[in-house]
Amino acid sequence: MSKRWKEHSRVQWDEKAEEWHKKSFTMWTQGSRKTVLPAVKAFLSQGSSILDIGCGDGVGSRLMGESGYEVTGIDLSREMIQYAKRQNSLAKVRYLEGGVEDIDFEKGSFDSAMCINSLEWMENPYEALKTIHSLLSENGKIFVAILGPTAGPRANSFNRLIDGHSICNTMMPWEFQGLAAQLNWTYLDEVYVYKNEAIHLNKDGLSKQLKQSLTFFTLFIYEKQK
Q: Say what the pLDDT of residue 1 is.
A: 59
Under the banding of pLDDT at 50, 70 and 90, the label for residue 214 is very high
Average pLDDT over residues 90-105: 92
Q: Is the confidence at residue 188, as pLDDT, over 90? A: yes
Q: Is the confidence at residue 116, as pLDDT, over 90? A: yes
In CATH, what class is 3-16+33-223? alpha beta
pTM comes to 0.94
- DSSP readout, 78-147? HHHHHHHHHT---TTEEEEES-TTTS-PPTT-EEEEEEES-GGG-S-HHHHHHHHHHHEEEEEEEEEEEE
From CA 105, how far away is CA 196, in angstroms rounded? 40
Residues in contact with 127: Cβ distance below 8 Å, sequence separation at least 6, in sequence order: 1, 101
pLDDT in tens, 73-84: 999 999 999 999
Higher local confidence (pLDDT), 65 or 4: 65
Higher local confidence (pLDDT), 196 or 165: 196
Q: Is the confidence at residue 155, as pLDDT, over 90? A: no
Residue whose C-alpha is closest to residue 111's, from 65, 45, 61, 55: 45
Higher local confidence (pLDDT), 103 or 115: 115
Q: For the chain, what is the mean pLDDT?
A: 93
Give me the residue spans of the domains in the chain.
3-16+33-223
Q: Say what the pLDDT of residue 159 is.
A: 81
